[in-house]
Amino acid sequence: MSASLILNDPTLLQTNAFIDGVFTAAPNGKTFAVRNPANGEIIAEVADCGADDIARAIDAADTARHSWAATTAKERSAILRKWNDLCLENIDDLAAILTAEMGKPLAEAKGEILYGTSFIDWFAEEARRVTGDVLESPFPDKKFIVLKQPIGVFGAITPWNFPNAMITRKVSPGIAAGCTCVLKPAEQTPLSALALAELARRAGFPKGVINIVTGMDAPAMGETLCADERVRKITFTGSTEVGRILMRQSADTIKKISLELGGNAPLIVFDDADLTEAVEGAIASKYRNAGQTCVCANRMFVQSGIHDKFVAALAEKVAEMKVGDGFEEGVVQGPIIDQQGFDKIERHIADATAKGGVVVTGGKPHEKGGTFYQPTVLTGATRDMQLFSEETFGPVAALFKFDKEEDAIAAANDTIFGLAAYFFTKDVSRIFRVSEALEYGMVVSNTGAYSSEVGPFGGVKASGLGREGSKYGIDEFMEIKLMVIGGV
């Protein structure tokens, strides 16, 4: 264990996969190193499981599914609530593990644990609000009833940028619905997943209900999940490219699928915006998690009348942002997750500046070295730049100047993606007009932060399928069954 990671409860640092209620090493004893992106230190060696272990976990989930589905919603709710309480009791440790393995500032990590538990809490309640229907029968001697039933075993694959919340957002509704699961966390952040498994064990979930399998061979593990007939649903958050693979692989067994994929979010600032609100919203949306979220604003369209004032105010705030190790006091931006992520940022900046973009602040690797990058504001962005069509996934605000509302909307919609979109204006009719015109799953005005368990989270077009959280989230894990009774 890394010397820098000191936990109140060291038993939360689990390093083996959680299969059928037991923490188990990979059969051949293979492990992989989990590193702290702030300093490259190895935090722990974790079980490097593979396709066979996924298959074992599916066996366990399949064995558990009938008895779990037969529990009452109230019983499931009580265990979920226990899990929620244990997460909150251990928030400091969960946040420390999260910061150590992915680098986000500790305060942000705590925010993520609260966000993560909000889904457990919410679905503990939603479990008890699943209702079927009694229909008006078209026949005098037949009754028509609609049942909602758990879909069965589901496979979940999660990313590194929200190592806690992306797990609870998928597992809680599924478990609440009466399903059992096999989850593969991102290889960069297995420790947050295993800490959640340990707390789930303590909460009293029966064995096999939640299985978490760690490992480096994501393609083989994903393939096994997709190919198995017993897995009736796949839920995935990650890149559009991997989403396509999973969808293709699920075709043979006709699985239900939920995908939360790339974003390329626009953020539009109209002349009639409140400048302070727009700058604060832009910072909240852009620089959270060092720009490494799929709802981070990737393209900022700023109307010509407010453009220069907005640039000056944004650049001033961004230049003050403290970059460093997430455990350091006052740090608001940690390292980029890995070299690959860092290289993409450099590539986007080089491409943009070669095509006429102007760096107002930042634009270079941070003097701290490693994968730290300067918070950046770049003006003069144009549609031929890579950062127009691809997510930078880093702390780079790219500003495009525009004159007319319709031009900003057309540019904002000119992407294969459609996850989150933001805009700032104080004109109420424009709020309705623009909200309706933006082809996104989530359209947000006059704020940069909106995620919560209450709102349906998800995208359109290449940003995905299905919605997570909210009153709609549990339906993704249920089948609708028509029950007809004749001769009555």
Please report, as ranges, the residues that interact with ligand ADP according to CB under 6 A: 157-159, 184, 186-187, 218-219, 222, 238-239, 242, 245-246
374 in helix, strand or coil?
coil
Q: Are 282 and 297 in contact (CB under 8 A)?
A: yes
CB of 111 to ligand ADP, least distance (A): 20
Q: Tell me the three state secondary structure of residue 354.
A: helix
Nearest approach, Cβ of 16 to ligand ADP (angstroms)? 18
Q: CA-CA distance, 478 to 149, in Å (whole number)?
A: 5
294 part of the active site: yes
Q: Kindly tell me which of 294 and 318 has the beta carbon lying closer to ligand ADP.
A: 294
If the CB atoms of residues 64 and 157 are measured against ligand ADP, the closer one turns out to be 157
For residue 248, the minimal CB distance to ligand ADP (Å) is 10
Q: Minimum distance between the CB of residue 244 and ligand ADP, rounded to whole angstroms? A: 10
Tell me phi and psi for residue 246, to 5 degrees.
-65, -40
Catalytic position from the list 101, 260, 280, 468: 260
The amino acid at 88:
L
| Nearest-approach distance from CB 239 to ligand ADP, in angstroms | 3
Cα 381 to Cα 301: distance, rounded to the nearest angstrom: 9
**What single-letter amino acid sits at 358?**
V
Q: Where does 197-307 show beta strands of DSSP type E?
A: 210-212, 231-237, 256-260, 265-269, 297-303
* Residue number with CB closer to ligand ADP (363 or 466): 466
- Taking the least distance from each CB to ligand ADP, the nearer of 98 and 314 is 98
- The residue at minimum Cβ distance from ligand ADP is 222
Nearest distance from C-beta of residue 246 to ligand ADP, angstroms = 6
3-state secondary structure 8-48: CCHHHCCCCEEECCEEECCCCCCEEEEECCCCCCEEEEEEC
Q: Of the listed 280, 294, 391, 439, which one is catalytic?
A: 294
- Cα–Cα distance between 158 and 195 in angstroms, integer? 15
- Token look-up 């933006």 returns 438
Nearer Cβ to ligand ADP (164/445): 164
With a CB cutoff of 8 Å and minimum separation 6, the contacts of 108 are 288, 289, 326
Our CB check for ligand ADP shows the closer of 245 and 358 to be 245
Q: Which is nearer to ligand ADP, 193 or 300 (CB)?
A: 193
Q: Is 468 one of the catalytic residues?
A: no
Q: How far is the CB of 324 from ligand ADP (least distance, A)?
A: 23
**3-state class (DSSP) for residue 337:** coil
Residues with Cβ within 8 Å of residue 223, at least 6 apart in sequence = 51, 249
Alpha helices in 48-179 (DSSP H): 51-70, 73-89, 91-102, 106-126, 165-177
The set of residues, in sequence order, having a beta carbon less than 8 Å from that of 324 and lying 6+ positions away, is 38, 331, 333, 334, 368, 372
Q: Tell me the catalytic residues.
A: 260, 294
